[in-house]
Chains A and B, each alone.
Chain A
Amino acid sequence: MRAALENEVRVCVAAGCMSMKSDQVLASLKAGVEKAGLGAKCRVKGVGCLGLCSCGPLVSTASGCIFQGVQPGDAAEIVGQLGRKEATGRLALNADIPFFKRQQKIVLENSGLIDPERVEEYIAADGYDALAKVLTTMRPHEVVEQVTKSGLRGRGGGGFPTGLKWATVAKAPGPEKYVICNADEGDPGAFMDRSVLESDPHRVLEGMAIAAYATGAKLGYIYVRVEYPLAVKRLRTAVRQAEANGLLGLNILGTTFNFHIELRLGAGAFVCGEETALIASVEGRRGLPRPRPPYPSERGVWGCPTLINNVETYANVAPILRNGGDWFASIGTEKSKGTKVFALAGKVKNTGLVEVAMGATLREIIMEIGGGVPGGRKLKAVQTGGPSGGCVSEAQLDMPVDYDSLVKAGAVMGSGGMIVIDDSACMVDVARYFTEFCMSESCGKCIPCRVGTVHINSLLEKIASGEGTADDLSLLDELCDMVKNASLCGLGQTAPNSVITTLRYFRDEYMAHIEKKACPAGVCRMGVSAPAGADSAPVAGGGKD
C-alpha cells in the first residue's frame, strides 16, 4: 500500500510567475524532491495564482511555508525545509502578513491550492458538487431563487442584480437561449478574471452550466481576450476534461440536461467588453454596440435571449448553490453582498490579487493588505474601475469599497482594478492617459464619443503642455458633460470620468499648468504639445488607421 502523502509543494504557474520562469522552478523542484528520496511522500505540482505577484515566483507547501523569488537553483534549499510549519532563510515569506490573513476567499478559494490542469483536483475540492445538486434536486426557478437571495451583483462593474438577469432570461420566450461569459477583461490594470481563468477554470465552467440550467440555454460562449494565451489554453483543456467526464456536453451527469461551451477569441478591442459589442463580435462582425432596449436578456446573440455575465460573477455561482443564497448574503454590506477580487497594482508594496468582503475600506486594502506606498513616497491618488472609473484622493481613503459608496465620491468600483498613484505622478497626465485610451478604443459609431474624446484629449494635451487657458477648462467641463450624456454606450458615457474626477480632486494641478505654466510633479513637458490627431484615430470615418 502506498504511503499517504505527507506534504505537497505548490509552484505558481499563472502568467505572472510563468513570465519569471516558474515552469523551470517546478521542474527543478520535482527533480529535487525525487533526488532527496521524498517522491513517494511529497507531491510537487503547479498551482494557480498565490496572489502576491510582486514577490514571485512563489512556492508554498501544504505544511504552511511560503517562499518568494524562487529560482530553479533554489530547489535544494526548499527541499531542506519540507515539513516545517514556517519558512526561514532568505527565500522565506511571512505567511502571517495582512496580505494573506486579511483576505476572505470565495472566488479565489482554490487558487494556489489546486492544479488548474487537473479536473480531479477541482472535483476533490467540492467541484461540480453544486452542479450535481442543482441537476438532481432543484428546478430551474429554485436555482434562480437562490441566486436572487444571495444578492450577487454583476462583478464586471455594472453591478446589475444577477438573479434578476437570470430570471429575465429564464422567462424570455423562445426555443434557443444562450449563456455568455464575458472574459474580455480589457480594463488596463485589471487581471482578476485572467487569474481565475488560469488558476481555477472549471469553476467558471460549472457556474455557466448552472446558469444554463436555470435559464434554459443549451450553448454557451466564453469570449476571452486573445492577449490571455495561457487562460485560453487552460480553458480549452478544462472544457475537454469536463466533456470527457460527463460534466459538459450531452446528458450531463447522466441527466437529460445538455450544455456545450465554445470559446471565442477577442482581437484587441476594448469596446467588446460592452455587452452588445461583444455579441456583435461573437457573430463575427465589427464590435459596434447598439442601442438598448432591447437588452441582450430579451434579444442577444442571433436575436435570441442571452445571459451575459462576467467571469467573477460565474465564479461565485457554485459556492452560492452549495452553501445557499443566505450564506452569501451574510457577507458584505447591505446592498453589496459577498466578496470582491481586486487587482492591486501601481505604487504599492504588495502588488497582486486581493479578495475581501465588500465594504472593506480603501485604507485597509491599500495600506494594510497592500503594505502602503514604497520608497518613502506619499500616496496621491487611487484609480479604480479602469478608464470608466475615476481617481480619488488620499482624503477618501476611509471610504468603503462597494458598488454604491465610491459612486458618491464620483468614482466607481468597476471590475476590480485598483492602481495606487504616488506623488511622482501628474494627475493631468493621468487624465490624458485615460482619455487617449478611450479615444483610441472608441468604435467610431457615435459622434459624441468619436469626436468628443478626440477634443477632450487635445484639450488635455494643450493644458498639460502649459498652453491651456481658463476658457479651456470651461470647454473641458462642457465637453465632458456632452460626451457623458450623449454617447451610445458605456465606453463613451464613462470616458470623461477620469477628467471629471481629477478636476474635482486635483483641480490645483490643472490650475498650476494653466496659471503657472508648470507641472508640479515635473512630468509634463512644457511647450511640447502633440498636434491634435497625431498618433491617434482619425476624426472622421471611425475605426482605426
Chain B
Amino acid sequence: MSAEGSKPAPPSGDKRWRIVEATMRRVGYDPSGLIEALHSVQETFGYLDDASLRFVAHSLNVPQSRAMGVATFYHYFTLKPPGKHTCVVCLGTACYIKGSTAILDAVKEKLRVGVGETTPDGRVSLLTARCLGACGIAPAVVYDGDVAARQTRDDALKRTNEWMREDA
C-alpha cells in the first residue's frame, strides 16, 4: 500500500498508462473505483496482467488479493492477451434456440480452438457471451466489436477464415 500522497509509477513508460491514471484520478483514487480502473486497463491494453493488477491495487490502496479477486470474478475481465481478432458467439436463449451452438462448434472445429482460447498463431480469439441483448436479430456474433445479425455457420466460418489467411 502506498503512503498518503505518493502514487506508484506505472509498470512501463508506455504513454497509454496516462489513460488508466486519468480514470483512477476521476474516481478519486478510491478503492470503490477498482472495477472502473480495471475496465480502463483492459480497454487500453486488451487484458489484465500481474503488473497492471499490482499497479492498480497500489494506486487505489487495495490489497493485491482483492484486485486479483475482482479480476477473476467477473467474466468480462481476461488475464490472457487477446488474439489479433476476436469472435464472440452469443449463447443467449434466443440465439441458442436459433442455433448458435452450431456456429460455435463449427468455428471451434475449423480453428481447432476452445472457448476462451486463442489460436497458436495469435490471430483469432474465440469467446462466448451470455446475451448481448440483440435477441431480435438472433443468432448474433460479434466480430472485433461489431455485432453482426442473423449469422449462419457459413458466415462465421467465412469471416474467421479471412482472418486466419491475413498476413501476420
Contact = CB atoms under 8 A, between A and B. Distances in A.
A156 to B, nearest CB: 15
A269 B74 contact: yes
Chain A's interface size range is 35 or more
B93 A188 contact: yes
Given A267-B75, A268-B76, A346-B97, A185 B115 contact: no
Interface stretch (B8-16, B65-73, B156-164): B65-73
Interface centre among B32, B72, B133, B140 (most CB of A within 10 A): B133
Contacts of B137: 16, 19-20, 53-54, 56, 351
A433 B130 contact: no
A286 interface: yes
Interface string A310-333: 000000000000000000000000
Contact of B134 (A15, A187, A287, A421): A15
B133 to A, nearest CB: 4
A347 B69 CA distance: 40
B94 A345 contact: yes
A43 interface: no
B113 interface: no
A543 B76 CA distance: 13
Nearest to A270: B130
A15 B32 CA distance: 30
A437 B130 contact: yes
A187 B96 CA distance: 13
A163 interface: no
A403 to B, nearest CB: 21
A510 interface: no
Interface residues of B, number: 42
A191 B133 contact: yes
Nearest to A444: B73
Contacts of A544: 72-73, 75
Contacts of A54: 136-137
Interface in A221-252: 225-228
B142 to A, nearest CB: 9
Interface in A198-240: 225-228
B106 interface: no
Interface in B124-163: 129-138, 140, 146-149
A189 interface: yes
Contacts of B96: 188, 433
Closest 7 A/B residue pairs (Cβ): A53-B136, A267-B74, A268-B76, A188-B92, A268-B75, A345-B94, A188-B131
Given A20-B149, A190-B135, A227-B133, 12 more contacts: A191-B135, A226-B39, A227-B131, A227-B132, A228-B133, A266-B74, A266-B76, A267-B38, A282-B32, A284-B30, A345-B93, A345-B136
